């Protein structure tokens, strides 16, 4: 099929390479990536746009043999793989730079960050977005009335490390219990779900805070 040497490609690559949807030109491939822009988290849009700008800047006509993969958002990274490289390292360098920059850019707010939460939550977030998203998830668990939320609330105990820091601050200290593992001596702090539900009023205020912020 056409001008591409497909030796050394995986079966997936071959399928993609042979796909009739694949744009034949390098310029077409960039346009195709641009059309997938909506799938990218908001915070990464700026670095993606910058990468696209750089890709358009290279001599597109000489790179028609280069095959670019789909946009990948996984493991806290934004990446575009080069499936078939014609030997020019410029494109490869731009895409590598995009992946590297995505590792230290908050995918929610776009703020450049030093210490990311990539490996814990499989998301690259700054401290603020991480705290906010954990808190919002906890609000859904403790306030919503869905099946999974009810199941979550019906447990015998909740580990303190499962709760976001802001919820921990609301819990009455006398309700926090401690268990020490005999073999290791590690301490495990936990509360009964009722202790968290006692803060329902405060959790509802937090929810209203976020709702108002979103509306603003």
Partner 1 sequence: MFDDKLTPDPVMLPRGRRACRRKAEELSYVRSLHREFGAFARSLEQDAVSETPRLGQRELFKVSELREQMTWLREQSGDNHKALLKSFKKLEEAGPWRDVAKAPAPELLDSLHQDFPNFSAVTTLIQQRLTLCRVAPEQHLQLPPILLNGDPGAGKTAFAQRVASILGVRFEKVDLSSTHAAFALTGLESGYSSSHPGRIWHSLQQGSLSALWLLDELDKTSESRDGGSQYLLSLLEPVSASRFTDNCTQLPVNAAHLCYLATSNDIDRIDSPLRSRFEVFEIHAPTEEQMCAVVRSIYRDIRKTETWAAYFSDVLDVDVIDELRRSSPRQVRRLLINGCAKAATEGRIALMPGDVAVGRDRGTKTTRKIGFL
Using CB under 8 A as the criterion, which residues of the chain lie in contact with partner 1 when the complex forms? 114-115, 127-128, 130-132, 135, 160-161, 165-166, 168-170, 176, 189, 201-202, 205-206, 208-209, 212
**To the nearest whole angstrom, how small is the minimum distance from the Cβ of residue 46 to partner 1?**
23
Nearer to partner 1, 101 or 130 (CB): 130
Q: Minimum CB separation from partner 1 for residue 134, in Å?
A: 10
DSSP letter at 79 equals: E
Task: Return the exposure string of 154-172: e unless at least 16 CB atoms fall within 10 Å of the residue's CB, then b.
Answer: eeeebebebbbebbeebbe
Q: Give the shortest CB-140-to-partner 1 separation in angstroms.
A: 17
Going from the C-alpha of 13 to that of each of 7, 23, 95, 99, the distances in angstroms are: 10, 14, 18, 20
Nearer to partner 1, 12 or 209 (CB): 209
Neighbours of 208 (CB within 10 A): 10
CA distance 132 to 148: 21
Instruction: Name the minimum Å distance from CB 42 to partner 1.
Output: 20
Residue 103: name the closest of 81, 128, 127, 75 by CA: 75
Query: Taking the complex as a whole, how short is the minimal distance between the CB of residue 128 and partner 1, in angstroms?
Result: 6
Q: Which is nearer to partner 1, 86 or 170 (CB)?
A: 170
Q: Which is nearer to partner 1, 62 or 208 (CB)?
A: 208
Closer to partner 1 at the Cβ: 63 or 118? 118
Q: 67 φ, ψ to 5°?
A: -110, 125
């Amino acid at each position: 099929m056409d001008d591409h040497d497909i030796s050394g490609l995986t079966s997936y690559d071959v399928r993609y390479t042979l796909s009739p949807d694949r744009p034949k030109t390098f310029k077409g491939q960039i346009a195709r990536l641009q059309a997938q822009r909506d799938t990218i988290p908001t915070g990464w849009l700026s670095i993606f746009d910058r990468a696209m700008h750089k890709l358009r800047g290279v001599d597109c006509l000489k790179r028609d043999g280069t095959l670019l993969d789909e946009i990948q958002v996984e493991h806290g990274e934004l990446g575009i793989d080069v499936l078939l490289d014609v030997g020019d390292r410029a494109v490869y360098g731009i895409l590598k730079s995009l992946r590297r920059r995505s590792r230290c850019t908050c995918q929610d707010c776009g703020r450049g960050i030093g210490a990311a939460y990539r490996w814990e939550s499989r998301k690259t977030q700054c401290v603020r977005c991480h705290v906010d998203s954990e808190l919002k998830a906890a609000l859904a668990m403790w306030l919503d009335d869905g099946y999974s939320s009810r199941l979550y609330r019906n447990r015998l105990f909740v580990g303190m490390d499962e709760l976001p820091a802001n919820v921990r601050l609301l819990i009455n200290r006398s309700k926090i219990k401690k268990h020490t593992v005999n073999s290791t001596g590690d301490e495990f702090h936990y509360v009964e779900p009722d202790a968290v539900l006692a803060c329902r009023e405060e959790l509802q205020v937090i929810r209203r805070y976020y709702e108002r912020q979103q509306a603003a």
